[in-house]
Amino acid sequence: MTTAAARAHFQFRVVYVLLALNFLLPAISYATRPEIALGTLDSINRALGGGAITGAVADGRVWHMLAVGNVMTLGFMCALMAFDLRRYYPVLPALAFLKGFSALYSLYIGATAHVP
């Protein structure tokens, strides 16, 4: 591997370790202290002009489980790629799909339901 390639590979690994931590640490927090995650969600929703978080999101464990599972999966996928990019490179399209779909679906809900 050339020096430039080795440097680019190192930079990629650093970024993906940071991304993995960015997802894994909050996922652990969401799993162990869901009231903190719900409080943050409620604060952000109010700051964007929405009301208090109520209903299935505030009361439902299913939504909580899905959120923890989603974020933990993102962290795991980033960690795999940081560990061995060549071996786990096929994870990249799934990672991009998971984040891209979540963002687009969130945009759709916000635009059609007129919520922040």
Mean pLDDT of the chain: 86
Task: Express each pLDDT in 55-90 by its tens digit.
Answer: 766 666 767 777 888 889 999 999 999 999 889 999
Task: Give residue 21's pLDDT.
Answer: 94
Task: Give residue 42's pLDDT.
Answer: 84
Least Cα distance to 57 among 31, 74, 38, 75 occurs for: 38
Distance CA 114, CA 49 (A): 11
Write the CB contacts of 95 (distance below 8 Å, at least 6 apart in sequence). Answer: 74, 77, 78, 81
pTM for the model stands at 0.73
Token pair for 94 = 């799934």
Least confident window among 2-16, 35-49, 52-66: 52-66
Task: Give residue 60's pLDDT.
Answer: 66
Task: Give residue 83's pLDDT.
Answer: 93
Token pair for 12 = 């990629």
